[in-house]
A and B are shown apart, each in its own frame.
Chain A
Amino acid sequence: MHTRLLLTVIPTQSLRNRFALSVVIGLLSLTAYADEAPTGEMIYQSKCASCHGAKGEGKVESYAHPLVGDRSIGELTEYISKSMPEDKPGTCIGDEAARVSQFIHETFYSSTAQARNKSARVELSHLTVRQYRNAVADMIGRFRGPGSSDDRVGLVAEYFKSRNFGGNDRVFERVDPVVSFDFQDKSPDADNPEGSKIEPYEFAIKWRGSVFAPDTGEYEFLVRTDQATRLWVNDQRRPLVDAYVKSGTDTEHRGTIFLLGGRSYPLRLEFSKASQGVKDQKAKEKPPAKASISLEWKRPNLVGEVIPARCLSPSQPPETCVVTTSFPPDDRSFGWERATTISKEWDQATTEAAIEVAGYIGNHLNQLSGSKPDTPERAEKLKAFCRRLAEIAFRRPLSDELKQRYIDRHFASASDPDIASNRVMLLVLKSPRFLYRELGSQQANANDAYNVASRISFGMWDSAPDQELLQKAANGELGTREQILAQAQRMVGDRRTHSKLREFLFRWLKVDRVPDLSKDPERFPDFSHVMANDLRTSLELFLDEILASEASDFRQLLLSDSVYLNGRLAGFYGAHLPIDAEFQKVSLESNERAGVLSHPYLMTGFAYTATSSPIHRGIFVARSILGRTLRPPPEAVAPLAPQLQPDLTTRDRVALQTSPEVCQSCHSMINPLGFTLEHFDAVGRFRKDENGKPIVATGAYRTRSGETVQFDGVRDLAKYLSESSETHAAFVEQLFHGAIKQPIRAYGSQTKESLREAFVRENFSIRKLMVEIIAASALTPADEKTQTVVGSTQP
């Protein structure tokens, strides 16, 4: 062992690297020659396990205590170097001691390792915030028709020859992809070869259809016009923007609305060019005024833009009940949303939301219940409505006892059936049967079909089961893997699955919170917020395309050599498109790209304002793609300022800064991964050199089994990652947690591996993996005694 360690030093002297030896040792000990060095685990098993046990559990005859404690890795290393093994202290030192310490610390010694090793179980969980909002929206949506659908993009536009929207004045109808018109002082059909049928003095336009909200959050709608306008979004009764009265010089009319992502909302826009109020009989004596209108929005945390055609559709979906009450955020300390604890704030939010939703239902009670006020059958109709709603909310039929408790009692005691309905709503929405994902099954029957239905739908959609799923549950048709597979296959094409997967991918890529991409204006004078916005769109289009494709091939996320660009981005990233070109897939000839790994949005995000950041990029590859665990740095370190070492490349500077031994336990993995992306600068543009020095994009990765793989550049890296079973297993595990929100180990020690095999078998289809995950989790295995099953009784 000792000689091997020496060996790692000697060859470094022959390298062309002209910087401090210490840098080189740190950097290369695990790269060029690392495959010869044993892993921490190998060291442990050969030198320590004989006394401490294979898993640090201790051995009665030698060291009876489990190997647990609170020393840091550094302290552990120091201790081991000095005192271990007990019979031969001094034989496990330096890098070897560091590696074995890291292994011990991460595998069973530290408190986090202990927590990780506790036997996992499926815990009782409440709805996450996203699940709550979806469940409410779908619950109320069940009482509304599906609306009309239409595959085209854009809005239906009706053009009228007067200021009103009367049928007789309608001249023509068409679909406008976007609303962005400058009519000047002309008629909207001025180019009609048969002659314009609309005079320029006075006309009106009505657009209708729907708007698709990609993400959840506050949307600011902006109608920019010099004429009278009104805009309705979702709620068709109260306009979001009412600028029927034009007053002063204001031409920007805004309204803000909270929308749930992954859904379409009815939208209507009216525009009227004319003075309003009393009809101006002399209007035609004056020259026609100018008129323009554009419909824009600011998506959550993004910059304003004309609402793109891909988010507009002539379909007419029904209104959606959107819960706006703010909930405390879900616990993400494990990297996925765990909902296994509650707080007073959460409880209050559920009360507030119950009042909000009950109020919404009350405002739409006639429509939803299909009954009229003051009619003799009102009470019976409302009772039936309440019962159906409670059954949808609880995801199972009501027993007589529950019907009595939740429905009948309130109709008997309230003075008025409407008040009774309100009370039922409040009770249903505060009930644990609604708020928790699985509760209310009969004792000792945790796998009753309704629980299974909930597991499937929350796993697949983050929402409650639909009618068909509940029907299958009622028929007892959710008892076998095949039956569950059939349902999961049916549901995977739904846009709720798409939306859930999309959100998962954003989190996987660490861009679920929109990063600030401001750049050094001196270095990158042409890089703007608008381009940052465009880059996010480019990434969204890429992810959406893969998710929606038949193959939904995970490997394409890493391997695709094209990037979505519009005219603005093309100019900047070296592609040839007209400046006003819409987004399209472009293969960048002069430089190599590999899917998300080199996507300019991520490269720009994993970078400083002026320089790239191999560390951020390496951490992303290590954690997200390879699923490696990395601790936070032992001490906070400010990056070395580039101007202090003007001769160094970014790569050299990073190597220098992270050369100390204490850094190397992680950076020996991080840096060589990040270095492979050095061809991409701080705005994700391809470069061949930096400060006049050629880019070196070589790197390496030491696998979990101790082999070292070498790369040169992003395509090398991508090829390796797309084929690596580590990558596959990491994706499987992360998607499982994102979907099911329970620890995968609670589903049996083999689940992860068998899902990985299924992933390989299904040609890395993300959608098929989702189906497999549902099938693997919906029937909680009842035969493993270590697992506690929700709903079962304790002895």
Chain B
Amino acid sequence: MTHPSRREFLRDIGLSAAALPFILNLPSLGFANQTARKQRLVIIFSPNGVVQKNFWPDEEGDEFTLKESLTPLEPFKDRLLTLHGVCDKVRGDGDSHMRGIGCLLTGIELFPGNIQGGSDTPAGWSSGLSIDQEIKNFLQADAATRTRFGSLEFGVMVPDRADTWTRMSYSGPNKPNTPIDDPYRMFAKMYGRMKDQENLKSILDDLQGDLKTLASNVNSEDRRLLEEQTTFVREMERELSTGPVDGIGHAVPDLEPGVKEEADNMPRLSKMQIELMVNSFASDFTRVATLQYTNSVGDAKMRFLGVDQGHHELSHNPDDDEKSQEKLTTINKWYAEQVAYLAKRLAETPEPGGGGSLLDNTLIVWTNELGKGNSHTLDNIPFVLVGNGLDFKMGRSLKFGRVPHNRFLMSLAHGFGHRIDRFGNPDFCTVGPLPKLT
């Protein structure tokens, strides 16, 4: 399956509205949902585990030092929360990488299937929906928190293949969501309709002009038809000038054109996606977003960091391979930089219609399918939180003793006021959400 080139997608901007509801029949973008505080959630995924000793702070509590991997987050240390000791305890079919990503946000087993991993039994898709979608559904159910998209699934360099390793977000059992890893396509999804309107507006004068010419060429009985159409065109013009085009309220991001989807461009692609995400929040298109870098077992060659081997390959090397540990730390540090860049952009962007910044109302959760690459453990999964969206008490390093991650997923829902008493496999939910977060 080949995709059109990136450049072609830029060309398409404004042209791919076929699947969208008709532009003129949309509700306006100013809403009943602007009164209460707008809480948001971003979940960022990077693959292959981390070098634990260079990742987790040694201390517990509000006095702690960031290790090498997390140093880019230093400016946000007081809005940061690290959760050590949270474990993915879901077992069943599929290898650790598959369960790692497939159960990460769903907290429930994979279905049996035909996807064979490096070991263990083959498996299919997750048997439940993911927490981002659970929260999306909760927000969309209420007019006061409903948004145009409900959630947006971003990606960077996600392989063009749908299997258990490449999907993290699920809208239901057997219903994986495909992340959009092409910024131009995401742009078209967010703003294509506006471009259509702009283009439509630009042709109306010529259309009116030609209608007039033609009307003078036909007999009076037929002319009535063309005159009616002229009236409709005039009405459309009026609707377009009062429609969302003029009411968008913020600048449309200006994307660098022609960035190809290849590993060397990861930094640029990442920035573009982050800009689009910040814009989607500023215009309240969505309050839930995921951002998936590559995929579980992702093997991007990040030469722009001076690392020539693929990430997954490196992650298999033993702990005493210092060179590999160093490179893996560099890679994870780069991911931390991306988290920090998003936090920075959110902190710089004022909350529309309210005090403070977007970061005051947004929680970023950075996570991974494994605790550690070479052991493939699902214990101590990285959960690094930035931002004040859910009123967790930030600026701390927390350590839990091997708690199931389902409890953390429940905490996210509770943070939105969605008080579920279980999420995913109920066996891992018996004692409720994680303590000590708020």
Contact = CB atoms under 8 A, between A and B. Distances in A.
Interface of A: 121, 123-124, 126, 227-228, 237-239, 242, 244-248, 250, 274-280, 324-325, 340-342, 344, 347-348, 351-352, 355-356, 358-363, 365-366, 373-374, 402, 405-406, 409-410, 413-414, 418-419, 422-423, 426-427, 430-433, 436, 439-440, 443, 788, 790-794
Contact of A247 (B14, B111, B202, B217): B111
B420 interface: no
B347 interface: no
Interface of B: 1-5, 7-8, 10-12, 14-18, 22-25, 110-118, 122-125, 127, 161-165, 173-174, 196, 199-200, 202-203, 206-207, 209-211, 214, 217-222, 225-226, 228-229, 232-233, 235-236, 258
B218 A277 contact: no
A247 B199 contact: no
A433 B214 contact: yes
Nearest to B95: A278
Contacts of B123: 247
15 contacts: A123-B222, A237-B1, A237-B4, A275-B115, A276-B163, A344-B232, A348-B22, A351-B236, A355-B15, A359-B16, A359-B18, A362-B12, A419-B14, A431-B207, A794-B219
A439 B124 contact: no
B217 A791 contact: yes
| Residue among A242, A247, A365 with max Cβ neighbours from chain B (10 Å) | A247
A628 B190 CA distance: 57
Contacts of B199: 358, 419, 422-423, 426
Contacts of A239: 1
Contact of B7 (A342, A356, A373): A373
B200 A440 contact: no
Nearest to B230: A432
B211 to A, nearest CB: 6
B277 to A, nearest CB: 24
B186 to A, nearest CB: 16
B30 to A, nearest CB: 23
A123 B222 CA distance: 7
A280 B1 CA distance: 24
A433 B217 CA distance: 12
Contact of B217 (A278, A427, A443): A443
A244 B22 CA distance: 33
B218 A791 contact: yes
A342 B174 contact: no
A180 B232 CA distance: 52
A432 B203 contact: no
Contacts of A791: 217-218
A426 B200 contact: yes
A296 to B, nearest CB: 20
B220 A365 contact: no
Contacts of B23: 352, 355
B18 A344 contact: no
B214 A247 contact: no
Contacts of A275: 114-116, 122
Contacts of A247: 110-113, 123-125, 174
A228 B16 contact: no
A423 B12 CA distance: 12
Contacts of A355: 15, 17-18, 23, 196, 200
B203 A423 contact: yes
A120 to B, nearest CB: 12
Contact of B214 (A123, A342, A440): A440
A324 B249 CA distance: 32
A248 B225 contact: no
Contacts of A440: 214, 217
B117 to A, nearest CB: 6
A352 B22 contact: yes
B211 A432 contact: yes
Contacts of B207: 427, 430-431
Contacts of A423: 199, 202-203
Contacts of B111: 247-248
Contacts of A352: 22-23
A448 B172 CA distance: 61
A426 B236 CA distance: 14
B286 to A, nearest CB: 23
A429 B222 CA distance: 20
A121 B221 CA distance: 11
Contacts of A356: 17-18
Contacts of B7: 373-374
B219 A246 contact: no
A425 B15 CA distance: 11
A252 to B, nearest CB: 12
Contact of B226 (A274, A419, A432): A432
Nearest to B216: A793
A342 B217 contact: no
Contact of B2 (A237, A279, A361, A362): A237
Given A405-B210, A426-B200, A248 B15 contact: no
Given A347-B232, A366-B8, A246 B124 contact: yes
Contacts of B228: 342
Contacts of B122: 275-277, 280
A432 B214 contact: yes
A436 B118 CA distance: 62
B124 A245 contact: yes
Given A248-B113, A277-B122, A340-B225, 10 more contacts: A121-B221, A124-B225, A277-B164, A351-B22, A366-B4, A419-B199, A423-B199, A426-B200, A430-B233, A792-B219
A361 B8 CA distance: 11
Contacts of B206: 405-406, 409, 427
Contact of A430 (B22, B203, B214): B203
